[in-house]
Amino acid sequence: MHTTKNEKRLKVAILGGGPAGLGLAIELARLTFIDWELYEKKPQISETGGGLSLQPQIWKLLEHNGAAAHLTANDYFRSAEGHLEQRRNGRSGELLTIKYNPKDVPLDRRSCRLARSKLQSALLKNVDQTHINLSKKLVRVEHLPDNRVRISFEDGFVDEVDLLVAADGLRSVIRNFSFPNNTPHYNGQTVYRTIVSKSEVRKIDGIPWAPIFWKHVSGLYVYTCPLGDDDFEVTLRIRRPQEGAEPPSWGRPFDLHTLLHKCEDFCPQIRQILNLAAKGETQEFALFSGPRLKRIVSHGNIAFIGDASHPLLGNFGSGASFALEDVYTLTKIIGWALPRGRPLSDALDMFDSIRSPHYERLYKVLDNFTSIKATLRAEGLPVDEEIAERVKRISQASVSWMYYYEIDKVVDGYLRGLEKCENEARPTSKVVKQVMMGLGVTVR
Ligand SMILES: Cc1cc2nc3c(=O)[nH]c(=O)nc-3n(C[C@H](O)[C@H](O)[C@H](O)COP(=O)(O)OP(=O)(O)OC[C@H]3O[C@@H](n4cnc5c(N)ncnc54)[C@H](O)[C@@H]3O)c2cc1C
């Protein structure tokens, strides 16, 4: 931190203009002792195709950062029946499970689905865009002797900051620098996402107006869901081993016709909707995932938020929520700790002690799913039975706490615990752990 006019100011660089980076830009602007700049490698703040689910826990955060005010009912699809999702046999169309929003979730906080660009532009409206620096691709991170970080960009531009926040997504360059042994790898699956017109989909008999996974075996599925306006999402996930070749990057245009022959086993309405999607503009997304980071801070001056903090593949359909939970935690902690004279490295440790156990719990859920799927594969069931068993067993093992997680209560409880320690001059960790246990939350 450096001193200006007797006030200690913190210079922050945010790397990445996705939901995590934009959310952080909004919140940091509210902290008067912070100077921030956001760097994004693309020439504009944009989001590549497809849809995104907003689960119940994100709404409070979108209200908190003001983005909810820029989303209207036309922007998204929310199931009138309260469906969270359906799972069907993709070959026969048979309905296998339906998950609902719990009844006590208020209507305006129930899950919904929208084009990813809608969330992006709702967030962007609340960001002071004079601090956004576009076409700035980070290529190098260095530590300076005075505890600052130097960041260098492809175009030769260099900045030096007190705090670097990595919001640069699943294949974070900053994570490679801080944790070189934790590199996400292509997991052999690729998704193809197309947005088609609702009026065209209505001509196909048997496509229910709901979020639906049309499941097959071996990771193969088609996902269909109405979005806002005239948009309807069609996503195909398919196994595509690359055999040594570098898999395609995120969001490349793709000719879906070339894969239709691999989908001939799907039921007629799914074949029709894939044909429709093949006439539209499809984008290809190779899926990457990696091991959990043991800590989501490094060197006392780098924090990881959003996908950069947890290379998780989008499994819970909640990545934007997790990103905004990280943002809420980081900014609340910094806003509490630094004005009290606590060092930045302490604040980052506090952030880590709240968020790392959260990600640890999420990884455990996935580990459980992985072992269920491996057991099932070993049983060698006939295809339709395997589809039904897979849906049944995963559904039985599913947990939903992450969709109703109230990060504000967790962070506020944590800070109350710290204040109690200060007042009673008691050791911090013990009191905080007690307060958090009362909230049913594990912290380190
Ligand atoms: C198949 C799939 C389905 C998903 N479905 C959902 C869903 O339904 N609901 C949901 O909430 N989430 C979903 N997710 C997850 C969601 O997309 C992410 O969690 C969310 O976009 C994370 O936001 P982010 O800001 O952390 O990262 P990103 O959105 O990836 O943003 C990172 C930004 O950093 C920029 N950047 C990267 N490298 C550099 C660099 N070197 N220099 C400068 N800038 C850089 C990128 O250009 C990008 O703008 C899904 C993910 C996948 C893969």
- DSSP assignment of 11-64 equals EEEEE--SHHHHHHHHHHTT-TTEEEEEE-SSSS----SSEEEE-HHHHHHHHH
- Region at 186 (left for phi over 0; alpha for psi -120 to 50; beta for the rest): beta
Q: Does some domain include residue 217?
A: yes
**Average pLDDT, stretch 189-200?**
95
Q: Are 418 and 430 in contact (CB under 8 A)?
A: no
Domain CATH number, residue 258: 3.30.9.30
Q: Does some domain include residue 86?
A: yes
Q: Which of 51-55, 230-234, 247-251, 374-378 has the lowest mean pLDDT?
A: 247-251
> Which two tokens mark 318?
């909640």
Q: Does some domain include residue 276?
A: yes
DSSP 247: P
Mean of the per-residue pLDDT values of the chain: 91
Separation of CA 119 and ligand 1 centre (Å) = 12
Per-residue pLDDT at 124 exceeds 70: yes
Q: Among residues 244, 240, 233, which one has the least CA distance to residue 218?
A: 240
Residue from 14, 42, 45, 52 whose mutation best tests the ligand 1 pocket (most atoms within 8 A of CB): 52
pLDDT digits 0-9 by tens, 409-421: 999 999 998 888 8
Q: Could you tell me the pLDDT band of residue 431, with boundaries at 50, 70 and 90? A: low
Q: Does some domain include residue 262?
A: yes
* Spatial CB neighbours of 307, under 8 Å, sequence gap ≥ 6: 18, 20, 169, 170, 172, 319, 323
For ligand 1, which residues put their CB under 6 angstroms from it?
15-21, 39-42, 52-53, 136-138, 167-170, 173, 191, 285, 287, 306-308, 313-314, 317-321, 323
Q: 280: domain range?
A: 48-53+71-116+185-289
Count the domains in the chain: 1
Q: Are 190 and 37 in contact (CB under 8 A)?
A: no
Q: Does some domain include residue 315?
A: no
Question: In the prediction, which pLDDT does 435 show?
Answer: 62
Q: Does some domain include residue 314?
A: no
